[in-house]
Amino acid sequence: MYVSRVLCRGDRSGRCRTSGSFQVTTLSTAIIRGFTMMTYQNTKQLDRDSLAAFWHGVRKLRGLCALITALTLYGCASSQTVESGNSYTELYEGTSELTFSTLMPVESAEEAIARGDAAYRRGNVDEAVFEYIRSLELDPDNADTLYKVGTINLHKEADNKAASAFRLALEQDADHPGALEGLGLMMMKQREYEQARAMLERAVEADSNRWQAWNALGIMADLRGDFNSALDFYDRALALSSRNAKLHNNLGYSYYLIGKWDRAEHQYQTALGIDPRHERAWRNLGQLYTRLERYDEAQEAFTRIMNEADALNTMGYIRMAEGDYPQAEVFFARAAKVSPSYHVTSNENLAQVRRLIMRE
């Protein structure tokens, strides 16, 4: 008789693996056969009651063997959870790991990665990370897998876990472009600009096809006033991702900062043509139109993303920042008239702008 192998064979992860078939020659079966042979040889010496008692014991032994087999199978199945003592469990962020406790065992790290990739394509990012961690238990030196875990955690805003995954990836491959980019983006988010810049420059040196790294380098160049470099970085990013509303918006704002209004407007409009709901592009377009004193167009742009009172109040702030206090006063007064809830705020803004007018 042949059955599926249920004995656990340890690997580096301590996980059960199933493999092939084998003929039942377990200790319990051998014992049963031995007792059966003994019964056959000594049947004449046993009375009927003793024989019945003996077969009752055999049935119990068979039941015990079945129980042992069931427990062994259960042990293999239950080992599929990410073990709490495993060094990679700290990278997991999501639903309870018990959710995936019924997943089938994996034969290799490659199989776990394939399952993780499939789960990611389905949009099940928690299961994807779970499978990637299972693969790391079998192949802990895989920088690409650690990068995948970091990217998912970064997208989920689990920043500490993302940073840990990226750093572990860089321990395995110091020039891994994805991990360098991911860690650089996190550092920029935390306003650690010099460290972020160094990481991102290494990322594009290792792989020049990293549009997010080029975009981030452009943003930081704008922040330090290096506008020529910023424009070059955005152009490099757009060469890789031309239908990217974020990139067109950022390029437009860079043009805005150096006073190239027409080019700024063109880039904002391009961004909105790609993504009509791009809030930052509408806001930047409204700011540009207010700066150019195209107030009707400015109000129309702002009201795409906010109510009329907010739009008028925002336009007032922009004119006040430009030193046009009389026009700022007009917008603050209109905001108070449109919305009674703006009465206190607008009065405060009006008082401030009137003090500024008196200083002139």
CATH number at residue 205: 1.25.40.10
pLDDT at 355 > cutoff 90: no
Q: What is the pLDDT of residue 176?
A: 98
> Do 71 and 147 share a structural domain?
no
Within-domain flag for 320: no
Within-domain flag for 346: no
Residue finishing a domain among 24, 57, 78? 78
Percent of the chain with pLDDT over 70: 68
User: Pick the residue with more confidence: 34 or 171?
Assistant: 171
Mean pLDDT, residues 139-145 taken together: 94
Percent of the chain with pLDDT over 90: 58
> Do 163 and 70 share a structural domain?
no
Q: What is the pLDDT of residue 104?
A: 76
Work out the pLDDT band at 80, boundaries 50, 70, 90: very low
Within-domain flag for 115: no
Mean pLDDT, residues 102-122 taken together: 90
Is there a contact between 188 and 219 (Cβ–Cβ < 8 Å)?
yes
Within-domain flag for 204: yes
Residue finishing a domain among 187, 219, 242? 242
- Domain tally for the chain? 2
Is there a contact between 274 and 248 (Cβ–Cβ < 8 Å)?
yes
pLDDT at 64 > cutoff 90: no
Within-domain flag for 217: yes
Q: What is the pLDDT of residue 101?
A: 62
Question: Domain residues for 229?
Answer: 141-242
Mean pLDDT, residues 22-37 taken together: 40
User: Pick the residue with more confidence: 33 or 152?
Assistant: 152
Is there a contact between 9 and 19 (Cβ–Cβ < 8 Å)?
yes
Work out the pLDDT band at 93, boundaries 50, 70, 90: low
pLDDT at 20 > cutoff 60: no
Within-domain flag for 95: no
Within-domain flag for 47: yes
**Rounded to whole angstroms, how far apart are CA atoms 189 and 79?**
38
Q: In whole angstroms, how large is the CA radius of gyration of the chain? A: 34
Mean pLDDT of the chain: 79
> Do 150 and 60 share a structural domain?
no
> Do 236 and 146 share a structural domain?
yes
Is there a contact between 150 and 166 (Cβ–Cβ < 8 Å)?
yes
pLDDT at 110 > cutoff 70: yes
> Do 233 and 149 share a structural domain?
yes
> Do 61 and 154 share a structural domain?
no
Residue finishing a domain among 42, 60, 78? 78
For residue range 210-260, what is the model confidence (pLDDT) as tens digits?
999 999 999 999 999 999 999 999 999 999 999 999 999 999 999 999 999
> Do 238 and 161 share a structural domain?
yes
Q: What is the pLDDT of residue 254?
A: 98
Nearest in space to 245 (alpha carbons), one of 285, 217, 208, 210:
285
User: Pick the residue with more confidence: 30 or 216?
Assistant: 216
Is the pTM of the predicted complex or chain greater than 0.75? no
Q: What is the pLDDT of residue 106?
A: 85
For residue range 214-227, what is the model confidence (pLDDT) as tens digits?
999 999 999 999 99
> Do 158 and 69 share a structural domain?
no
> Do 161 and 73 share a structural domain?
no
Within-domain flag for 109: no
pLDDT at 184 > cutoff 90: yes
